[in-house]
Amino acid sequence: MFHKGQKIGSYKLLTKIGKGGFGEVWLAEKRSELVTKKVAVKLPLEDQVNLETIKQEAELWEQASGHANVLPIIDADIIDGQVLIVSEYAEGGSLHDKLRREGKLSIKQAVEMTIGILNGLEFLHNKRIIHRDIKPQNILLQGDTPRLADFGISRAMQTTAISSTIIGTDSYMSPETFEGKRSIQTDIWAVGVVLYQLLQGSLPFPQEHPSERMFAIIQKDFEPLPDEVPFKLQQIIKKALAKLPENRYAVTSEMCEELKEFLIISAPKPKTAPKTDFLPPKTQKEKIKPEIVTKIRPKTSSLKTKNLVKPTSNQLYFAIPAIAVLFFALIGGYWFLNQSSTETKLIPFRKGDKFGFSDVKKKIIIEPKYEIASEPHEGFIGVGIAKKYGFIDKTGKEVIPLKYDGAFWFSEGFALVNLNNKWGFIDKTGKEIIPLEFDNLTLFSDGLARVKLNDKYGFIDKTGNEVIQPKYNNASLFSEDLAFVELNNKWGIIDKTGKEVMPLKYNNALEFSEGLARVELNDKYGFIDKTGKEVIPIKYNYAHSFSDSLALVKLNDKYSFIDKKGSEVISLKYDSTYPFSEGFACVTLNNKWGFIDKTGKEVIALKYEHTSDFSEGLAAVQLNSNFFYINKNGTEYYEP
């Protein structure tokens, strides 16, 4: 409809710089006898024009102008029947364009950019305006200065301070927006997503399918940031991305001040010599392939992003929000202790903003008093009060004082703990077995923990001895006595002596599960055994590790399950699935979720809006926007 050189009033169109459902945005010039000025002209399409809405948008934009971090409006008019809204032209393009060019920003750049965004939002919020669609595409750059733009879906805040229209871009939408609720904290969530993206170069909830992405935003922890992002900055993002609005920053200036403080304390300081021969690696779960909704308590997980590997399922960090904790915060938690049937099974539950534990008869065993609680593991429960973390036993007795700044739960008799940004291991008496002197570590798996030195990975044993020299660009944890390692973008297998038992040749790999490992070559997936033999052809568009003797695969946009011989035991027909857990798999068809058994029979009807998989006999489900639990018969189960 519009073309280069076209004149609309005093504006001559030069280059189209954007297009969307609203219409098009063009770089234009406005000539006068004294000056020629470049501007951005927003041109709504004729069939999209609602004059009253356009008028409201222009008035709102005019109201929002007048701040260095808000792109000002210049003109709004109807010329020869064409509606146009004219703003300043930001020569630096959008923040989205910058990310496409550079991938991600330095920590300092990302923080300074976010401070500018927050300053602009504070100006809007003081005028009782919520932006509603903060994302890199709507942040334009004038040099290094971010300027908020596109108020087409913004609305003036009413006296309730909450709006009830679901509008926005789902990757940047907070949990409550899916229920139609909007507030200042909605914009703060979106800023948290943008800051994460500036640091990581990807989204905190990268699931590809919209329903999977929404489920992750509502219930799951965000994908962890790399080691290079300081702990303080990760805590700021954690608070901005809190599931409950009241747990986020109350106002933008609060988040802004913490970021300014971070810049001050993170200014370069003289480096001190390390106390050991190596620096340890990442403690958090690393980025996984967003093909399916990850299980609430996964046994295995899949890889998409090159050079990133998956930690073990017992590597959930309860000080930085764990999957279990965030899920509790929304709908209560019902994970059971992995104990024998003769022992008391504890079920975490949430009352107000505190966590406690009940038995299966809903009798309260541990009163709700903890701000954070982990899944019980090896007889211990990680808990936190006032940002200090320790461990209690199943009676509620505090066996390890709440004194640490962070912790992972117990694995193989050891817990990974943090104090003053240094990591080490304690045993079940609280004794420091490996001193708290490392920048980072992983939990033990098969008796070894992964470490990192000068961006190279290796392994230590439980005495702290370096048993495999740090020389790899990346490495998985040991599983079934083998580990995948990566060098020069190729993956292979080593044993516990460091010997390469399979050459480094794959583009990506996922650790062994039930004797087979998933590998990727040229964007196709298959499975190999421990000798490196390809037992299931590399032909699938996607594949997940084996669980309950079946593996999830994707071919031609449909999901199915195969056995260890590669035979398709459940037909390729579902839009999405979880792996099997406890004999059941969550599946979705036409946006409805339910459960199938290993024969493919639908044992629980596909009627739910969302589901988790079964864990200790219970699955979380959503129906008519209500969350609750069901057992394997489909019977509903609620918290005390």
| C-alpha triplet 612, 614, 620: angle, nearest 5° | 40
Secondary structure (3-state) at 238:
helix
Q: Say what angle helices 95-102 and 184-200 make with each other, to 10 degrees.
A: 20
Q: What is the pLDDT of residue 43?
A: 80
**Per-residue pLDDT, 51:** 61
pLDDT of the residue at 519: 86
Angle at which helix 184-200 crosses helix 231-240, to 10 degrees, equals 140
Q: Where do we find the tokens 């004797």?
A: 515
Q: What pLDDT does 228 receive?
A: 77
Instruction: Report d(CA 303, CA 510) in Å as an integer.
Output: 7
Which parts of the chain sit beneath pLDDT 50? 152-168, 268-342
For residue 54, what pLDDT is reported?
A: 60
The confidence score (pLDDT) of residue 190 equals 94
Strand partners, 416: 425
Cα separation of 252 and 69, whole Å?
14
Say what the pLDDT of residue 60 is.
Answer: 63
- How far is the C-alpha of 437 from the C-alpha of 425, rounded, in Å? 10
Q: So what's the pLDDT on residue 335? A: 36
Nearest residue to 613 (alpha-carbon basis) of 578, 638, 574: 578
Token digits of residue 93: 């393009």
Q: What is the pTM of this model?
A: 0.43
Q: Could you tell me which residues come within 8 angstroms of residue 105 by beta carbon, excluding any fewer than 6 positions away?
A: 98, 99, 113, 198, 199
**CB-based contact 487:504 (threshold 8 Å):** yes
CB 185 within 8 A of CB 236: no
Could you write out the DSSP letters of every residue in 180-216? T-B-HHHHHHHHHHHHHHHHHSS-SS--SSHHHHHHH
Of all residues in the chain, what percent carry a pLDDT higher than 90? 13
